[in-house]
Amino acid sequence: MSTDTNTVTALPMRPVVADVLREAADADPRLVVLGADGQALAAGVRERYPERYIDVGIAEANLVGVASGLARAGRRVVVCAMAPFLVRRAAEQIRNDVANPGLDVTFVGVGGGLSYGTLGPTHHCPEDLGFFSALPHTRVYCPADVVDAAWAVRQALAVPGPAYVRLGARADRVVHAPDERFDAGTGLLMRPPGRALAVAAGAGVGIALDAADRLAGPGHTLGVLALTAVTPFPQERVRELAAGVDAVVVVEEHLASSGLGAATALALAGQWHGAFAAHSVHTGYPPIGDREELLAHYRITAGDVAASVLDAVRGPGAGARR
Partner 1 sequence: MTPVAAERPDRALAAVSTGARRRLLDLAASRGVHLGASLSVIDILVGVYDLTGFAPDRPSGHRGDRVILSKGHSVWALYSVLAEFGVAGLDDPRAGHPVEGTPGVTAATGALGHGLSIGAGLALGARLDGTAQRSVVVLGDGELDEGSVWEAAMFAAHHRLANLVAVVDRNGLQQEGHTESILSLEPLDAKWASFGWRVLEADGHDHAALRTALRTALDGQDGRPTVVVARTVKGRGVSLMEGDARYHYVQLTPEEHAAATRALVGTGQGAA
Residues that bind partner 1 (CB under 8 A): 32, 51-52, 54, 56-57, 59, 61-62, 64-75, 92-93, 96-97, 100-101
Q: Which helix (H) or strand (E) holds 314?
A: helix 302-314
Side chain identity at residue 59, one-letter code:
A
State the minimum distance, in angstroms, from the CB of residue 89 to partner 1.
9
Q: Furthest-apart CA pair in the chain: how many Å?
A: 64
Rounded to the nearest 5°, which phi and psi values hold at 288?
-70, 130
State the minimum distance, in angstroms, from the CB of residue 191 to partner 1.
45
Residue 72 or 123 with smaller CB distance to partner 1? 72
Residue 51 or 179 with smaller CB distance to partner 1? 51
Q: How far apart (Å, rounded) are the C-alpha atoms in residues 49 and 47?
A: 6
State the minimum distance, in angstroms, from the CB of residue 57 to partner 1.
7
- In DSSP terms, which residues pair with 109 in a beta bridge? 81, 166
- In DSSP terms, which residues pair with 189 in a beta bridge? 225
Q: How far apart (Å, rounded) are the C-alpha atoms in residues 300 and 281?
A: 8
Calculate the alpha carbon distances from 243 to 90, 218, 230, 239 in Å: 40, 19, 20, 6
State the minimum distance, in angstroms, from the CB of residue 86 to partner 1.
14
Taking the CA atoms of 180, 186, 188 and 192 in sequence, report the sign of the dihedral they define: negative
Rounded to the nearest 5°, which phi and psi values hold at 77?
-115, 135
Residue 13 or 64 with smaller CB distance to partner 1? 64
* Other Cβ atoms closer than 10 A to 87: 24
Residue 74 or 284 with smaller CB distance to partner 1? 74
Q: How far apart (Å, rounded) are the C-alpha atoms in residues 26 and 107?
A: 19
State the minimum distance, in angstroms, from the CB of residue 73 to partner 1.
3
Rounded to the nearest 5°, which phi and psi values hold at 39?
-115, 0
CA atoms within 13 Å, Cβ hemisphere of 291: 21
* 36 in Cβ contact with 60 (< 8 Å): yes
Residue 28 or 92 with smaller CB distance to partner 1? 92
State the minimum distance, in angstroms, from the CB of residue 66 to partner 1.
4
Q: What is the dihedral of CA 141, 142, 148, 154, to 10 degrees?
A: 30
Residue 52 or 139 with smaller CB distance to partner 1? 52
State the minimum distance, in angstroms, from the CB of residue 58 to partner 1.
9
State the minimum distance, in angstroms, from the CB of residue 50 to partner 1.
12
Residues in contact with 158: Cβ distance below 8 Å, sequence separation at least 6, in sequence order: none
DSSP assignment letter at 40:
G
Residue 120 or 136 with smaller CB distance to partner 1? 136
Residue 18 or 64 with smaller CB distance to partner 1? 64
Residue 3 or 62 with smaller CB distance to partner 1? 62
State the minimum distance, in angstroms, from the CB of residue 125 to partner 1.
20
